[in-house]
């Protein structure tokens, strides 16, 4: 397998979308298909069904299950209570050939907050367990960590340009790149082709949808939950001189938490500022702050992943 083939497979696995997904100019169909997949369908009282993308590696992308579970929970909450946080555990790999059954339990509806538990089930067993919390708008204390000074997205090479810089042809990758609902631009070198030039536990990535998203704060929060599973574990790889395509390496997401600080309009570039403060016991922790182009901190997330690296 060539390095370009490994890069193709890594990109498809990380994003959960491969070349058999819909393709269109500027990613319009890809984005439309993403929105449709995340709009879970009623299947009884407080029960919903989620449908899957074609999977490149035989298992469902974790961000899809997170986003669909959050969307299912939100459908049982008043519209004036957007999500402010969720915490989920990945329990089993998802089967892309089977729809996901999403069972919502109404834990509490208070004056300002609502809490929901969601079990994402396939073959009679949970693949994800999540608790999500929702809140009415409120005034109060307000501060944020400033967005770091990094090159703007138009100053950072695209994935196609990175391939060309590395001497790789994009031939054969066109359908895959066109089918992606998001564009990623790593401020440091991406880890699809190989390890970074230096070992560091930090990175920054610009991400935006490749096509327009319909309006609505809930949809944009759900889409942000989907993409939050893209690159948050990469600082662990980068710190140890590894790449996604490292032969024999096995990775899996273990748990995922996300806090929505301010309403997000995910139509344009957002900066994911990511770090890994620790790795031990075959696990690595990734943290990320998500900023809008104007520097507004819209969300923070954390995820722990399993890393099994051959000796």
Residue positions annotated with a catalytic role: 229, 253, 303
- Do the Cβ atoms of 132 and 67 come closer than 8 Å? no
Per DSSP bridges, beta strands 250-260 and 83-90 are antiparallel
In the DSSP assignment, the letter for residue 26 is G
Query: Burial letters for 259-277: b for 16+ Cβ neighbours within 10 Å, e otherwise?
Result: ebbeebebeebbbbbbbbe
CA distance 237 to 255: 17
Spatial neighbors of 253 by CB under 8 A, at least 6 apart, are: 62, 90, 229, 233, 303, 304, 305, 306
- Do the Cβ atoms of 273 and 227 come closer than 8 Å? no
Helix (H, G, I), strand (E, B) or coil at 170: coil
């Amino acid at each position: 397998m060539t390095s370009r083939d490994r890069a193709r497979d890594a990109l498809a696995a990380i994003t959960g979308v491969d070349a058999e997904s819909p393709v269109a100019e500027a990613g319009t169909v890809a984005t439309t298909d993403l929105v449709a997949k995340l709009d879970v369908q009623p299947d009884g009282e407080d029960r919903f069904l989620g449908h899957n993308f074609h999977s490149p590696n035989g298992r469902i992308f974790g961000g899809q299950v997170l986003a669909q579970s959050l969307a299912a929970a939100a459908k049982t909450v008043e519209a004036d209570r957007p999500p402010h946080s969720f915490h989920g555990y990945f329990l089993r790999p998802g089967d892309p050939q089977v729809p996901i059954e999403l069972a919502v339990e109404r834990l509490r509806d208070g004056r300002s907050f609502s809490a929901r538990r969601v079990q994402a089930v396939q073959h009679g067993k949970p693949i994800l367990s999540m608790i999500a919390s929702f809140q009415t708008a409120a005034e109060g204390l307000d501060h944020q960590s400033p967005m770091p000074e990094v090159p703007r997205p138009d100053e950072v090479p695209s994935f196609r340009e990175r391939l060309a810089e590395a001497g790789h042809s994009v031939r054969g990758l066109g359908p895959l790149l066109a089918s992606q609902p998001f564009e990623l631009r790593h401020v440091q070198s991406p880890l699809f082709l190989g390890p970074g030039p230096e070992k560091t536990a930090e990175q920054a990535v610009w991400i935006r949808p490749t096509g327009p998203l319909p309006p609505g704060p809930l949809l944009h929060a759900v889409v942000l939950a989907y993409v939050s599973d893209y690159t948050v574990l990469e600082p662990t790889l980068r710190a140890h001189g590894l790449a996604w395509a490292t032969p024999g390496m096995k990775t899996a997401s273990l748990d995922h938490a996300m806090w929505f600080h301010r309403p997000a309009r995910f139509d344009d570039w957002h900066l994911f500022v990511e770090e890994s403060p620790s790795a031990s016991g075959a696990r690595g922790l990734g943290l990320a702050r998500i900023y809008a182009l104007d520097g507004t901190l819209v969300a923070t997330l954390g995820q722990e992943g399993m890393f099994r690296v051959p000796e």
